[in-house]
Amino acid sequence: MATLAEIRAKLLAAENKGTGSNRPNLDNSIYAFWNMQSGKDSVLRFLPDGNKDNTFFWVERAMIKLPFAGVKGEPETRAVTVQVPCVEMYNDGSVCPILSEVRGWFDAKDETLAELGRKYWKKRSYIFQGFVVEDGLNEQTTPDNPIRRFIIGPQIFNLIRGILVDPELEESPTDFVNGLDFRLKKGNKGDYADYSTSTWSRKTRPLTFAEQSAIDNFGLYNLLDFLPKKPNSTELEIIKEMFAASVDGEAYDPERWGQYYKPAGLNQQTGDPSVTEDSEASYVTPAVTQPVYQPVSQPAVQAAPQPAASTIASDSKAQDILAMIRNRNNG
């Protein structure tokens, strides 16, 4: 288990480097706290990563959303979004073809291109594990293994991270004897879910006998196992092709891409492998959720819902953006 000093040192090093700019839950090892009613709260106890090489008790996930105006051959289909992995999350020197293109849009110092770039920029979330000490969901069924996974968005992550740099904190929050519980509180700001009043307990609590027994019996997850499968060279070409089609305002083509990546719930006979789909929270996002989309080749995790992006194909402003991008690429 990493010490608190090691965690702080690594966070400080990262800061000094600087940083770049409701479907059913079929695998209820993920605790779907985002389904809590507003005003409810749950108490979580985070645990260390089973991967001894990970200083932190979380792993970062980075995904890119590709909006399409609809589905080819299905004129009644509304706008859909396909979510693909950003290969830069694997920290092995891989270069994301989408971010490589989009970075140039920001460098152009053109606000119209920058606005489009933000649409295609990677979206971060964080995978944790731990116990549900108090259940604000009132779950009807729970898994045999009480060690749950939590998919955390940036707002909650910043609250979790904040205590680690508090000089008054003496032990890691994941310490089995002197650790801290985290009270996750769901509220609303207008039409958006809000978790900003979530807090750490100021009193340490040792793990109970049942909690310690669960760790002994089941072991801790290696959180890296729950990152999306890294795309191979063929899949990277598919991602680049879908990205270009999305920017050009084309419809999603299940015959071309359905074997690799597709919108969740798209019932196409593509011969795709079966997939177990999890759900993920929305973080300061509209309270009304909609399906989100994942690669079919690995367990899906639902990300924060967003407004449908159906205007790319028809909006004259979008056509101007496309012309700018093409002119820039030809220049």
Condensed to tens digits (0 to 9), the pLDDT of residues 81-108 reads 999 999 999 999 999 999 999 999 998 8
Q: What are phi and psi of 95, to 5 degrees?
A: -110, 130
Let me know if 301 is exposed, middle or buried by CB neighbors in 10 A (0-12, 13-18, 19+).
buried
Domain boundaries, the chain: 4-330
Q: What is the 3-state secondary structure (H, E, C) of the chain?
A: CCCHHHHHHHHHHHHHHCCCCCCCCCCCCECCHHHCCCCCEEEEEECCCCCCCCCCCCEEEEEEEEEECCECCECCCCCEEEEEECHHHHCCCCCCHHHHHHHHHHHCCCHHHHHHHHHCCCEEEEEEEEEEEECCCCCCCCCCCCCEEEEECHHHHHHHHHHHHCCCCCCCCCCCCCCCCEEEECEEECCEEECCCCEECCCCCCCCHHHHHHHHHHCCCCHHHHCCCCCCHHHHHHHHHHHHHHHCCCCECHHHHCCCEECCCCCCCCCCCCCCECCCCCCCCECCCCCCCEECCCCECCCCCCCCCCCCCCCHHHHHHHHHHHHHHHC
pLDDT for 108: 84
Which residues have CB under 8 Å from 99's CB, separation 6+? 64, 86, 88, 121, 122
**298 pLDDT above the threshold of 50:** no
Please state, in angstroms and rounded to a whole number, the distance separating the CA atoms of residues 279 and 307: 18
Let me know if 154 is exposed, middle or buried by CB neighbors in 10 A (0-12, 13-18, 19+).
middle
The model's pLDDT over 26-62, given as tens digits with 9 standing for 90+, comes to 468 999 999 999 999 999 999 999 999 999 999 999 9
How many C-beta atoms surround the C-beta of residue 201 within 10 A? 15
Let me know if 58 is exposed, middle or buried by CB neighbors in 10 A (0-12, 13-18, 19+).
buried
For residue 78, name the pLDDT band (cuts at 50, 70, 90). Answer: confident
Q: Over pLDDT 70: what percentage of the chain?
A: 74
**25 pLDDT above the threshold of 50:** no
Return the higher-pLDDT residue of 4 and 220.
220
pLDDT for 327: 57
The model's pLDDT over 152-179, given as tens digits with 9 standing for 90+, comes to 999 999 999 999 988 989 999 999 999 9
CATH superfamily of 4-330: Replication Fork Single-Stranded Dna Binding Protein (3.90.198.10)
Model pTM score: 0.73
